[in-house]
Amino acid sequence: MNADDTPGEPPRCLVTGATGYIGGRLVPELLAAGYRVRCLARTPGKLRDHPWAADVEIVRGDVTDDASMAAALREVDVAYYLVHALGSGKHFEETDRRAAHVFARQARAAGVRRLVYLGGLTPAGVPERELSPHLRSRAEVGRILLGSGVPTTVLRAAVILGSGSASFEMLRYLTERLPVMVTPSWVRTRIQPVAVRDVLRSLVGSADMPAEVNRAFDIGGPEVLTYRDMMLRYARVAGLPRRLVVPVPVLSPGLSSQWVGLVTPVPASLARPLAESLRHEVVCREHDIAAYVPDPPGHPLGFDEAVRLALQRVKDAQVTTRWSSASVPGAPSDPLPTDPGWAGGSLYTDEREITVNASPQALWRVIEGIGGENGWYSFPLAWAVRGRLDRLFGGVGLRRGRRDAERLRAGDSLDFWRVEEIERGRLLRLRAEMRLPGLAWLEMYAEQNGDGRTRYRQRALFHPHGLLGQAYWWGVSPFHALVFGGMARNIARAAARTPAPVPPPSGATP
């Protein structure tokens, strides 16, 4: 325990990189394990939408600045170093080196009893100077922290399987968007991927290691696979047709990173170093971590189960204000508010907003009355044709109508939609049950501006399934202005003609 702690209080952990992929998922795991948590962020406001934000101490700081790190590390027992300059430019190695030295120096001065760092798995027998810049920098940071004078745990992982992980997102997009792939030779490279749940379990368990432990541990899943194996098995778990993967030797790491950037939304600043790292075989040489953090039954998770968990949120058809910001993540595999916009798979949106010359109550009456005999307020022929096509391909079509002409409730069928969520007076979210190569939602909001005017907001969202889903979205997008734009305008006009409900007389029973 740190000398400045009050006796009887649980240890305090500092999590750097709390806005990052691993950091944001580690915090709730530490809280669940009973630790007090302090989060360091250069922009603390990025953490405010996390469900755990009120349960932690959030401080502003930068790992390259001695003063802010000295303040952040004060009264800390265990400090997690989860920051990397990868993606910040060509000088990221120097930035990583400088930050690691600052962190190590200030941790020793503050009396921190343990450092925990998540680095990269490195290939056996390859001199550090021959590693890719990405792996070389992670190995150097690990050495700096191990030599800090503070007992340190360095965990070394290869590809981490979980929604939001840059490596996993590369795998996701390449597999989903390309049924036939002419690929770089690194698809033959052997890799030992690991589920994000097992990474977090090892990170939490490392906080309680004995003081004499000062070393690195390899962490990985139970299977060693090539990148080609991972793409083929991802396709199988995701329910995609079998992919044809044709490796060619002419794609250098530089060219292949450009190829990845063309096919996926992962930024080139991340794709290039990750692609360069894939030329190295990264397989665990030991599993000594189990002596300090025992594997529970069923762990470490296999590749298929890890992918299934990473895709679970999509399969459960949950959509929120933005694909990568779930209201309360139920598991480490779920998306988080601080995940980048390219994480979590493609989500295409069509958004409309219009000021309505009516009260919010009148607007809501129109929204809640949509479908059935009232129709969909735009291009009736297009909706009718879509309904007939849906029936032709075995779907429900438009014949289901509504349960009630005026009121809706969660779970109701509504033509070829299902009411997924309703916040009466504000939000109606519908999930499509028509035949589609993907998942689709329609959201309608009745809101009031700061100046008291009524606003109608509408969002259509589509999560494509494979290349057919991508083609479907871009094939129908030219008609969105006619269908969705017309819907927004006509709903606003209908609301302007709809009287607001009259409140019952005073004393009357509603």
The full 3-state SS of 55-107, as one line of letters, equals HCEEEECCCCCHHHHHHHHCCCCEEEECCCCCCCCCCHHHHHHHHHHHHHHHH
Tell me what pLDDT residue 325 has.
35
pLDDT at 284: 95
Which of 182-191, 281-290, 474-483 has maximum average pLDDT?
Answer: 281-290
Lowest mean pLDDT among 156-170, 213-227, 262-276, 453-467: 262-276
Partners of 218 in beta bridges: 156
Is the pLDDT confidence value at 87 over 80? no
Least confident of 353-357, 394-398, 403-407: 394-398
Range with the largest mean pLDDT of 72-81, 232-241, 274-283, 373-382: 72-81
Candidate from 13-27, 151-165, 276-290 with smallest mean pLDDT: 276-290
Structure tokens at 72: 């952040």
Question: What's the pLDDT score for residue 30?
Answer: 97
Per the rule left: phi > 0, alpha: psi between -120 and 50, beta: everything else, 69 is alpha
Confidence of residue 382 (pLDDT cuts 50, 70, 90): low
What is the structure's pLDDT at 492?
93
Is 152 or 124 the better-scoring residue by pLDDT? 152
Task: Answer whether residue 198 shows pLDDT above 70.
Answer: yes
Residue 8 has pLDDT above 50, yes or no: yes
Nearest-angstrom CA–CA distance, 237 and 304: 7
* Burial of 344 per CB tally in 10 Å (0-12, 13-18, 19+): buried
CA-derived radius of gyration, the chain: 26
CA triple 347-353-357, angle to 5 deg: 155
- Per the CB < 8 A criterion, the answer to whether 141 and 119 are in contact is yes
pLDDT of 432 strictly over 70 = yes
The pTM of this model reads 0.70
Q: What's the average model confidence in pLDDT over 373-396? A: 68
User: Which tokens belong to 240?
Assistant: 């995609």
Q: Which of 265-279, 341-355, 407-421 has the lowest mean pLDDT?
A: 265-279
Distance between CA 142 and CA 137 in Å, rounded? 9
Q: Is the pLDDT of residue 388 over 70?
A: no
What 3-state DSSP class applies to 430? strand
Maximum mean pLDDT: which of 147-156, 188-197, 339-348, 444-453: 147-156
Q: How confident is the model at residue 328 (pLDDT cuts 50, 70, 90)?
A: very low
Q: Is the pLDDT of residue 467 over 80?
A: no
* pLDDT the model gives residue 316: 47
Question: How many residues comprise the chain?
Answer: 510
The whole-number average pLDDT for the span 171-200 is 85
pLDDT at 271: 67
Would 12-315 and 348-496 be classified into the same CATH topology? no
Range scoring the smallest mean pLDDT among 57-71, 249-263, 491-505? 249-263
Average pLDDT value for residue range 403-431 = 87
How high is the pLDDT of residue 144?
96
Candidate from 39-43, 173-177, 297-301, 383-387 with smallest mean pLDDT: 383-387
> Would you kindly state where each structural domain of the chain is located, as residue ranges?
12-315, 348-496
Looking at per-residue pLDDT, the higher value among 502 and 110 belongs to: 110
Tell whether domain 348-496 is in CATH 3.30.530.20. Answer: yes
Average pLDDT, integer, range 243-249: 77
From the CB of residue 316, how many other CB atoms can be counted at a distance below 10 Å?
Answer: 11
Buried b (16+ CB within 10 A) or exposed e, 249-284: eebebeebbbbbbebbebeeebbbbbbbbbbbbbeb
**Whether pLDDT at 495 is above 60:** yes
Structure tokens at 49: 């939408």
Which CATH architecture is the domain 12-315 placed in? 3-Layer(aba) Sandwich (3.40)
Q: Which of 22, 355, 10, 13 is nearest to 160 (CA)?
A: 22
| Residues facing 115 on adjacent strands | 79, 152
Name, in order, each residue with C-beta under 8 angstroms of 353's C-beta and a sequence gap of 6 or more.
455, 456, 457, 458, 488
Q: Check whether 329 has a pLDDT greater than 50.
A: no
pLDDT value for 317? 41
Over residues 324-333, mean pLDDT: 42
Does 269 score more than 80 pLDDT? no
Average pLDDT over residues 360-381: 86
Which is nearest to 18 in space by CA: 173, 203, 171, 147?
203
**What rounded mean pLDDT belongs to the chain?**
83
Hunting for tokens 């289901």 — which residue is that?
Answer: 400
pLDDT(410) > 50: yes
- Supply the pLDDT for residue 389: 66
